[in-house]
Amino acid sequence: MTDTTSNQMWGGRFAAGPDAIMEAINASIGFDQRMAAQDIAGSRAHAAMLAATGVITDSDAEAIREGLLTVLSEIEAGDFTFSSALEDIHMNVEARLKEIIGEPAGRLHTGRSRNDQVATDFKLWVRDQLDAAESGLLALISALLSQAEAGADWVMPGFTHLQTAQPVTWGHHMMAYVEMFGRDLSRVRDARARMNESPLGAAALAGTSFPIDRDITAKALGFDRPAANSLDAVSDRDFALEFLSAASICAVHLSRFAEELVIWSSAQFRFVTLSDRFSTGSSIMPQKKNPDAAELIRAKVGRIYGANTALMMVMKGLPLTYSKDMQEDKEQVFDAADNWMLALAAMEGMVRDMTANRDSLAAAAGSGFSTATDLADWLVRVLGLPFRDAHHVTGTLVARAESRGCDLPDLRLAEMQEVHGDITQDVYSVLGVENSVNSRTSYGGTAPVQVRAQVQRWKGILG
């Protein structure tokens, strides 16, 4: 709706209201209403500080406080009429406050600008999302730890190039993701600590001549301190970029894990069975059970990294300080946050519910000559061969097994001795996958004893 009169909040010098298209491109209320709670929290802190420093009277501050609570309850109840003529959440809230409490509402914006206001609101919103991401990651890590603990000694093939490489344990594979999501967790915590400075009181860009106390508002809003440079405070969106960067890396991790689940749940692999709760059927093929949640998680990185790229490009080349370009920050972050949290929750649910098929894992672990490296190591350790020679002898034995259509432990001793005369019966002790994984006891290796130690370490970290 186009207002024919000039804007009631800033229209003093304007004779006419905006064109309908101008209003459409300018308004952010369609999306920034998601920051209503943060906006009202910021305004309450600001008003209380203005009273504490004597800039406004206690009675005005009290009227503002009560009025803001009424506005908040109206918004929460869905009783609030948002107006795009009022552009954004800041002016929608203030205009409604004026309707409710009258004249004192006009004093709320003393020593403040929408520039420090929006930076504050958005930071508070992103901070909440970092906290939500932290919870989501902790829940996912704990689900992975349960899987790792249950299957610390279940053998499965380890892959490079998606070709069978060496036997590993299910627990070890789960713990690899614990490390990855653990780094995501530390990125989230780092980002939160770095962003936790209050922009409020930077005003439009230069600070203010009113005797405000920025420590009071910073403390009231849970910030560690006020941001030290007013120009930077209103133009900084690093916190949003860091949020999106951390989200993007985590989304990459989620997509890699999702891809493994898609492969592992296929009829060809059968490594895992996903629960009915996290699968869907096909409307035409009755036998199908599709890993849709995993596929969607695999896809989420597209929009999350897209948001990261988009905001990087919005911010690129912007001169200090605030430019309206920066209004384009929010939708990207909102969408990425919604999808990140959803992907984390869906992955946690899938991991908690899934069943690792121990027998299929074990059968696959022994195929594909997975203990060839153990054989080569035996030739080095027991017969004293140089590793390169041992590699060659083993390769010859693999070729023999391949042409016979059997696995390495199925070769007879005499056949092996044709390739190298000194091989003894003892070699069979290293050809079994259990022995193979049990022998990988180096720190961080796949031996169950190491896997269990890492599970305990992580349980200690998570407390």
d(CA 92, CA 83): 7
Catalytic residue among 59, 73, 135, 282: 282
Within residues 67-96, the interface with ligand ARG by CB under 6 A covers 88
- Say whether residue 236 binds ligand ARG (CB under 6 A): no
Instruction: Classify strands 197-198 and 225-226 as parallel, antiparallel or unpaired.
Output: parallel
Beta carbon of residue 61, minimum distance to ligand ARG (angstroms, whole number): 24
Q: How many CB atoms lie within 10 A of CB 224?
A: 12
Please identify, among the stretches 93-101, 161-169, 324-332, 334-342, the one whose residues bind ligand ARG according to the rule CB under 6 A.
Answer: 324-332
Given the complex with ligand ARG, which of 88 and 260 has the nearer CB atom?
Answer: 88
| SS3 at position 160 | strand
Q: Which residues contact 99 (CB under 8 A, 6 or more apart)?
A: none
Contacts of 89 (CB under 8 A, 6+ apart): 28, 29, 32, 33, 35, 36, 39, 121
Query: 38, 43, 115, 198: which one contacts ligand ARG (CB under 6 A)?
Result: 115
How near is the Cβ of 236 to ligand ARG at its closest, in Å? 13
Residue range at the interface with ligand ARG (CB under 6 A); choices 114-122, 136-144, 274-282, 445-453: 114-122
Q: How far apart are CA 110 and CA 210, in angstroms?
A: 8
User: Which of residues 185, 326, 343, 350 is near ligand ARG by CB under 6 A?
Assistant: 326
**Of 169, 208, 230, 327, which lies in the binding site for ligand ARG, with binding defined by CB under 6 A?**
327
Closest separation between CB of residue 31 and ligand ARG, Å?
Answer: 9
Of 202, 167, 301, which is closest to residue 244 (Cα–Cα)?
301
Tell me if residue 450 falls in helix, strand or coil: helix
Report the residue number, 115 or 248, with the smaller CB distance to ligand ARG: 115
Q: How far is the CB of 30 from ligand ARG (least distance, A)?
A: 11
Tokens of 82: 């948002």
200 binds ligand ARG per the rule CB under 6 A: no
Active site residue 403: no
Q: How far is CA 397 from CA 163, 403, 409, in A?
A: 19, 10, 11
Binding mask 303-322 for ligand ARG (x = CB under 6 A): -------------------x
Distance CA 167, CA 62 (A): 69
Sign of the alpha-carbon torsion through 439, 440, 442, 446: negative
Catalytic-residue membership of 161: yes
Which of 72, 118, 258, 261 contacts ligand ARG by CB under 6 A? 118
Residue 44 found at the interface with ligand ARG (CB under 6 A): no
230 touches ligand ARG by CB under 6 A: no
Q: How far is the CB of 55 from ligand ARG (least distance, A)?
A: 22
Q: Which value, in Å, is the radius of gyration of the alpha carbons in the chain?
A: 31
Question: Does 119 interact with ligand ARG (rule: CB under 6 A)?
Answer: no
Name the residue nearer to ligand ARG (CB basis): 149 or 331: 331
- Establish if 39 lies at the interface with ligand ARG (CB under 6 A): no
Tokens read off for 366: 């022994």
Ordered DSSP codes for 71-128: HHHHHHHT-----GGG-SHHHHHHHHHHHHH-GGGGGTTTT--HHHHHHHHHHHHHHH
Nearer to ligand ARG, 207 or 445 (CB): 207
The piece of 111-119, 138-146, 213-221, 276-284 that touches ligand ARG (CB under 6 A) is 111-119
Residues near ligand ARG, by CB under 6 A: 28, 32, 88, 114-115, 118, 322, 324, 326-327
Give the active site residues: 161, 282
